[in-house]
Amino acid sequence: MQGGSPGSRPPRALTKKRLFDLSIIISALAALGIALYCFSIGFFIIVPHLFYIPIILVAYQYPKRAVAFVGVLAAGYFAEVLLFSPGNGVEIANALLRIMVFFIVAIVISNLSSRLQVRESRYRGIFETSGAGIFLFSPRTGEIEEMNQQCAAMLGYPEDEALSLEVPRIWPGYTGLTGALEAGRLEGLDCNLVARDGTPSAVLLSASLLPDQQEGCVVVTGTAELKRMENHLRRSEETLRVILDTTDVGLLLTDPGRVIVDVNAAAIRFFGGTGREDLIGLNPYDLVAERDREAWAAYRERALNGEAHVSGECTLHRLDGTEWPAEITITHFAQGGAAPGRLVVSLRDITERRRAEKEMREEIRRLFITNEVIAAATASHRLDDLLPAALAKTLALLDLDIGAVHLLYPGEDHARLRASVGADNFKFSVRRDELPYRHVLTDGEARFVDRFHESYQEYDNPAIRSFAVVPIPGDNGPVGCIMAANRMRETIPENERLILTAIGEGLGNAVVKGMLHEDLEAALASANRYLDEANSATETANLYVDILMHDINNANAAAMGYLQMALESEGDPPRAFVRKSFAAIYQSSDIIRNVSTIRRLKDEPAALRPVQIEPVIRGMCSYFVDTSITWEGPDVTVLADDLLDEIFSNLIGNSVKFGGPDVRVTIGVLEEGDTVSVTVADTGPGIPDDLKSRIFERKERGVTKKSGKGLGLYIVRMLAERYGGSVRAGDRVPGHPREGAVITLTLPRYHPDMGAGEAND
């Protein structure tokens, strides 16, 4: 092989070049010398062909310099022809023609040589720059003819020293493979070459004879790095396998044809297998619960369509058929080169996460229900409002049917019923030591009874299927309990048990405050009652004192004055004095009677009985003989007592007192269903509108200055209310107060089928 720069050629190539240059010089000088001799003796025919030898050599070795060399050589040739030609011009013409042929030959051969050198330079570059070691050797002599730098460096030889070696020196196995090499090409032979220092160098060797069978070519690739990389890859694979087998994420490696080709230890554990053989070859679709198979197929299609890291959740089943929830991620590795396409499915068991999520949901629900119940309870401080609201809210939120709340007051052995929902037959009180309340009210422990009719057959309540009772804690132990039952479910779930217990604990403070509030209200009511009684007693005493000191004294003083005037008169005393004295005495008697009536109203309970109206009114007509009294209406029977005549006595007396001796009184009776309306109308001065609503209050009097403490109409109202009736003031002529007053008394009517003291329904 020729070509290349002199600086890059091996010594043997340089020697060949020098010999070639010497051949060019010698052939050129020989051609010129022989031509000079032949031309001198007149021989011009064959001698010019000697010039083709140096022309061809120069054109082949130095194609770029061939034309110049031919010009110099042709000039020498033409000078010799001119010097020795006979002068007829024929030889000169032939010489010019030959010179032209010289140039044509030089140009053709230099062109071919240039192309050959370009190709040779290309192969030389490949030879020298190849990553593999290459050396050429002679099969006949077994000597190395040429070796590239990669091979020399691999074996540790300088280039010039390597060319003096024989093949068996560096390739000990060559001798045994010469026959095989002559028969054909050696491919991928794993062997050792001997380096310069005698150490073996592992290589992968390929050898063949070149087409002319005169040279052999050996290509070697060092396998030390390859083996190191293989070892590194093997260690990496082992490390990766350890990592995959120790991770808690299950991995399935599947082909797009839905067949599992590899799994890790976590996946084997998740599916309940004993080894990889239990899962390899299965279709992962068959390991998915039937209800989630469509979702799995959708995840798979999304991954195959190029979506990266398709994630979701689905339910898988183990080899034994049991199910478990999993979070899956599918990643598609497309086929590349010889690597087949794969789907990597990562699996994570989310059973604990689902359980935690369920517990969190239950905790949120428990807090929500507890807060709802507490909010309903704290809307009022009164236990009569608080407990029913809290109980109803609890039953509604927990879908329970029956409930009750019993409270245990200090020093008592029975818990009293304070609220109930869903049934009317709850015990008003339960003993503290009665099952199942004993554990709750004494020990403060919640009790839950599933299948209540089996556990407590003595209660014989088929409506209750499950039962719960939880304590309401107080400062010194339970202050009560909440009972809840269900008519449909035979069991109470654990989450509802926790909620009921939390509700009982949450109601503790509210119930304790409510009980304290009740105690305070009772104490305040008792104190107010005592205060009212004291005030009433004081007021009554003051009333009696006022009546005795004022009204009766006035009446007595008037009577005494008129009697004194009668005594001092000459002759018989005037009848007017006697009449006025009697009137004053009667007034004093009325006051004493009214006081007696008030005392009886305060001290004696009402004992109602049938009383006819007509005899009472006729008695009043006989009493007020000087007054015009008209009675209209049927005789009816009302529920009253022997104080009924005090009503009419006071009403008629007021009419006479304020209307004067000419007043006319009309009494009317009207039956209205279960009541009787009695009206007492007079022609007196009437009652102003602003007094109508207050005229029946104590110490309220009309617009006149008549004597009295305003007791008459007050007694009328008290007696009407005592009988279950009412009284009101109006105008005899509607809209004209000065035309007289009318008092309307409403009393309960008596029916023969009623017992004494009973009210009408």
Could you identify the residue written with the tokens 């869903």? 422
146 three-state secondary structure: strand
The long-range contacts involving 687-692, CB below 8 angstroms and separated by at least 24 positions, are 687/729, 687/731, 687/737, 687/741, 688/737, 689/737, 691/729, 692/728, 692/729, 692/730
Give every CB contact of residue 529 below 8 A, 6+ residues apart in sequence. Answer: none
Does 748 have pLDDT greater than 90? yes
Tell me how far apart the alpha carbons of residues 172 and 170 are, in angstroms, rounded to a whole number: 6
pTM exceeding 0.85: no
Rg (C-alpha) for the chain, rounded Å, is 69
Give the DSSP letter of residue 47.
G
What is the structure's pLDDT at 682?
Answer: 92
Q: Which residues of 568-592 are buried (b: 16+ CB within 10 A; e: fewer)?
A: eeeeebeeebeebbeebbebbebbe
Closest CA to 471 of 429, 428, 438: 438
pLDDT digits (tens, 9 = 90+) for 601-627: 666 677 788 998 888 888 888 777 778
Tell me how far apart the alpha carbons of residues 161 and 180 are, in angstroms, rounded to a whole number: 28
What is the structure's pLDDT at 570?
Answer: 66
Closest CA to 164 of 147, 140, 139, 181: 147
Q: Is 673 exposed, middle or buried (0-12, 13-18, 19+ CB in 10 A)?
A: exposed
How large is the average pLDDT for residues 110-121?
82
How large is the average pLDDT for residues 356-383?
78
Q: Give me the domains of the chain, ranges plus CATH numbers.
A: 6-127 (no CATH), 131-228 (3.30.450.20), 251-349 (3.30.450.20), 358-505 (3.30.450.40), 605-748 (3.30.565.10)
Binning pLDDT at 50, 70 and 90, where does residue 382 land?
A: confident
How large is the average pLDDT for residues 219-229?
77
Residue 279's φ and ψ, nearest 5 degrees, are: -110, -35
What is the structure's pLDDT at 572?
Answer: 64
Q: Which amino acid is at 749?
A: R
Tell me how far apart the alpha carbons of residues 288 and 583 are, in angstroms, rounded to a whole number: 114
Range of lowest pLDDT (255-259, 430-434, 437-441): 255-259
What's the half-sphere exposure (Cβ side, CA atoms, 13 Å) at 86? 8
CB 101 within 8 A of CB 53: no
For Cα atoms 419, 420, 421, give the angle at the middle one, nearest 5 degrees.
140
Name which residue leads in pLDDT, 533 or 648.
648
Give every CB contact of residue 713 below 8 A, 6+ residues apart in sequence. Answer: 650, 654, 695, 696, 700
CA 97, 99, 105, 111 dihedral sign is negative
Tell me how far apart the alpha carbons of residues 623 and 82 are, in angstroms, rounded to a whole number: 201
Mean pLDDT (the chain, rounded):
79
What is the structure's pLDDT at 419?
Answer: 86
Q: Is 628 exposed, middle or buried (0-12, 13-18, 19+ CB in 10 A)?
A: middle
What is the structure's pLDDT at 202?
Answer: 84
Binning pLDDT at 50, 70 and 90, where does residue 705 land?
A: very low
CB 10 within 8 A of CB 146: yes
Binning pLDDT at 50, 70 and 90, where does residue 590 land?
A: low
Range of lowest pLDDT (16-25, 237-246, 604-613, 633-642): 237-246
Tell me how far apart the alpha carbons of residues 319 and 273 are, in angstroms, rounded to a whole number: 7
Question: What percentage of the chain reaches a pLDDT higher than 70?
Answer: 82
Cα 588 to chain centroid, rounded? 87
